[in-house]
């Protein structure tokens, strides 16, 4: 079975083709016309489509009056159980002429269809048994049987009990049962999704708008693995804003970049060969702001800082400095992605001017500190935090001087200074070797000779002497900004916590994360942090 539909775009309609057993995912931001697209696909496919709306009521009433299966399915698909209602009435009866915004309230019809299927299946088995047939050999499962099997695998902590006319729930080892209507939103959503897919018309295109609603991320992929497997006669279209869900599915993927109520959409397929994971490629293509690659991870204070200070960018954490550089270069050299602006931001790591200029030409800026957390130790930021805490004048200066004392106490010996110099040398060598260009070498001998020449040009003694002198000068002058360009110690934040807010480090970091995430908490602090970070403008 093939399912074809075309979506209006700025130019030619964009055509999509799905075979039974295949799936397609559209990813888009809020306001991107996702639900309107779901409506369009449903209308284009007519009776061969079954749309599960994002606007859905989840009131589960197992005591609803039982009706015959044909009526229940007609009510589910067309909005009314009577025979005179068919696909021509779907827009009016099922969607009340408001297909994109109407609250779909069809849980009663779904329950009626499941009970009717159970009754009819049981009756067929009963009649076969009476005729002497051994029904154990080809025992037909009811849709309720299938639903309970999937439910049990997904939610082993809850047990469904389905009788001839009721649905109860219990803990696996408990005797007491409670009404299915008392299930949590997530449990009712899972029940609803499984039921909808099971009762969809054979050979249908099943359209699911926002499959992530009320369903915990940990079971999302498993749920749809099960449902796609149990309906190989159908194809699935998922319309979502959940990048993680989209990345986890084995499916065609497209990004909705914009929507014009004309209607027309701007849709791009997610290519397979961008050099990025599916999730990241989808995020890049679907991002309206330009992309800023940074070090760190999603759970860190780092990301709160970056998102606060660069609100006009989509901030994408890439872990290490090397990954940031690779991401910027890959994206700028990728024909599928070059129309999207990107830049990078990395720790300075004691980087010399030549390296910083080289990276700037690639679109990668460097921080004024070796560790992003230490931006809160820069004097201007320290003063802003102290002022926010109600300190004034000499007291602010005393606290800043105390903080400088704490930092310098870590560098009170030649051994400690030398340890910093050694780390700087290692980073310097690493940076230089990564930029090593051996493209002109034609033989292995040429490579060896050129490599030897380039390595000999790395005068580590001169570099080490320079770093050592810069450290000693900064220490002698109590020059905290220049010291933080060279000194790579994440533990410095604990001293700032004590001196600036009389906090422990964890409490201070928690407060900073909240302040950077909500500009109303300490607006002067967030403004000052923004001022000390590099100004990065979209190109």
Quick one: pLDDT at residue 201?
94
Quick one: pLDDT at residue 442?
77
Model confidence over 337-349: pLDDT tens digits?
A: 777 889 999 998 7
Considering the chain, what is the average pLDDT of its residues?
A: 88
- The Cα 273–Cα 254 span in angstroms is 14
106 pLDDT band, cuts 50/70/90, is very high
Give the mean model confidence (pLDDT) for residues 271-299: 81
**What architecture is the 2-156+183-269 domain classified under in CATH?**
3-Layer(aba) Sandwich (3.40)
The dihedral built from the CA positions of residue 475, 481, 486 and 490, taken in this order, carries a sign that is positive
pLDDT tops 80 at residue 410: yes
- The Cα 193–Cα 188 span in angstroms is 9
Q: What does the angle CA 412 – CA 415 – CA 417 come to, to the nearest 5 degrees?
A: 65
Tell me, yes or no, if the pTM score tops 0.95: no
Give the mean model confidence (pLDDT) for residues 423-443: 76
Residue with the bigger pLDDT between 42 and 258: it is 42
210 pLDDT band, cuts 50/70/90, is very high
- The Cα 492–Cα 481 span in angstroms is 13
- Residues whose CB falls within 8 Å of the CB of residue 28, separated by 6 or more in sequence, listed in order: 34, 37, 239, 241, 255, 256, 257, 259, 286
The answer to whether 313 and 538 are in contact (CB under 8 A) is yes
- The Cα 298–Cα 515 span in angstroms is 17
Model confidence over 435-486: pLDDT tens digits?
A: 666 677 778 887 887 777 777 777 888 888 888 998 899 999 999 999 998 8
- The Cα 450–Cα 211 span in angstroms is 57
- The Cα 444–Cα 453 span in angstroms is 14
User: Parallel, antiparallel, or unpaired for β 23-28 and 252-260?
Assistant: parallel
Classified as helix, coil or strand, 178 is strand
DSSP 323-372: HHHHHHHHHHT-TTTTTS-EEEEE--TT--HHHHHHHHHHTEEE-SSSSG
Of all helices (H) and strands (E), which one includes residue 254?
Answer: strand 252-260
The answer to whether 263 and 41 are in contact (CB under 8 A) is no
Quick one: pLDDT at residue 151?
93
The pair of three-digit structure tokens given for residue 235, joined into one six-digit string: 């194809």
- Residues whose CB falls within 8 Å of the CB of residue 185, separated by 6 or more in sequence, listed in order: 58, 214
Quick one: pLDDT at residue 135?
72
125 pLDDT band, cuts 50/70/90, is confident
Quick one: pLDDT at residue 348?
86
pLDDT tops 80 at residue 365: yes
Q: How far is CA 530 from each of CA 79, 299, 362, 535, rounded to the nearest angstrom? A: 55, 20, 22, 8
Quick one: pLDDT at residue 523?
93
531 pLDDT band, cuts 50/70/90, is very high
Domain coordinates in residue numbering, the chain: 2-156+183-269, 289-436+453-532
539 pLDDT band, cuts 50/70/90, is low
Quick one: pLDDT at residue 500?
92
Give the mean model confidence (pLDDT) for residues 115-135: 85
């Amino acid at each position: 079975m093939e399912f074809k539909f075309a979506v209006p775009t700025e130019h030619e309609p964009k055509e999509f083709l799905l075979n039974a057993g295949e799936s397609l995912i559209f990813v888009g931001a809020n306001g991107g016309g996702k639900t309107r697209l779901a409506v369009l696909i449903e209308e284009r496919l007519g009776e061969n489509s079954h749309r599960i709306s994002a606007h859905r009521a989840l009131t589960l009433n197992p005591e609803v009056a039982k009706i015959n299966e044909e009526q229940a399915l007609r009510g589910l698909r067309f909005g009314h159980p009577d025979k005179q209602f068919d696909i021509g009435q779907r827009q009016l009866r099922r969607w009340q002429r408001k297909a994109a915004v109407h609250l779909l309230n069809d849980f009663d019809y779904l329950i009626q269809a499941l009970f009717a299927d159970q009754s009819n299946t049981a009756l067929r088995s009963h009649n076969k048994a009476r005729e002497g047939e051994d029904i154990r050999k080809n025992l037909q499962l009811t849709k309720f049987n299938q639903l309970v099997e999937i439910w049990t695998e997904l939610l082993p902590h809850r047990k469904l009990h389905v009788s001839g006319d009721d649905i109860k729930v219990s803990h696996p080892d408990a005797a007491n049962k409670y009404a299915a209507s008392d299930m949590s939103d997530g449990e009712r959503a899972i029940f609803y999704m499984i039921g909808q897919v099971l009762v969809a018309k054979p050979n249908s295109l099943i359209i699911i708008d926002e499959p992530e609603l009320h369903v915990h991320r940990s079971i999302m992929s498993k749920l749809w693995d099960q449902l796609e497997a149990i309906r190989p006669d159908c194809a699935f279209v998922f319309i979502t804003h959940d990048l993680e869900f989209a990345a986890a599915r084995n499916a065609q993927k497209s990004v909705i970049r914009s929507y014009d109520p004309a209607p027309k959409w701007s849709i791009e397929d997610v290519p397979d060969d961008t050099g990025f994971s599916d999730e990241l490629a989808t995020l890049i293509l679907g991002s309206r702001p330009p992309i800023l690659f940074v070090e760190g991870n999603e759970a860190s204070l780092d990301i709160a800082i970056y998102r606060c200070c660069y609100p006009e960018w989509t901030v994408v954490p890439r872990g290490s400095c090397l990954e940031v550089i690779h991401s910027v270069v890959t994206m700028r050299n990728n024909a599928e992605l070059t129309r999207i602006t990107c830049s990078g931001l990395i720790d300075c790591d004691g980087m010399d001017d030549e390296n910083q200029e080289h990276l700037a030409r690639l679109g990668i800026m460097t921080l004024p500190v070796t560790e992003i957390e230490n931006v809160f130790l820069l004097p201007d930021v320290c003063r802003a935090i102290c002022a926010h805490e109600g300190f004034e004048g000499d007291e602010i200066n005393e606290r800043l001087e105390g903080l400088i004392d704490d930092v310098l106490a870590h560098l009170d010996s030649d051994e400690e200074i030398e340890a910093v110099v050694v780390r700087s040398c290692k980073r310097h060598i690493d940076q230089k070797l990564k930029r090593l260009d051996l493209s002109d070498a034609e033989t292995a001998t040429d490579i060896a000779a050129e490599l030897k020449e380039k390595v000999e040009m790395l005068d580590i003694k001169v570099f080490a002497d320079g770093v050592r002198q810069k450290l000693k000068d900064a220490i002698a002058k109590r020059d905290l900004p220049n010291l933080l360009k060279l000194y790579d110690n994440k533990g410095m934040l604990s001293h700032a916590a004590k001196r600036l807010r009389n906090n422990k480090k964890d409490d201070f970091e928690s407060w900073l994360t909240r302040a950077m995430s909500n500009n109303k908490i300490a607006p002067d602090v967030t403004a000052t942090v923004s001022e000390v970070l590099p100004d990065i403008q979209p190109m």
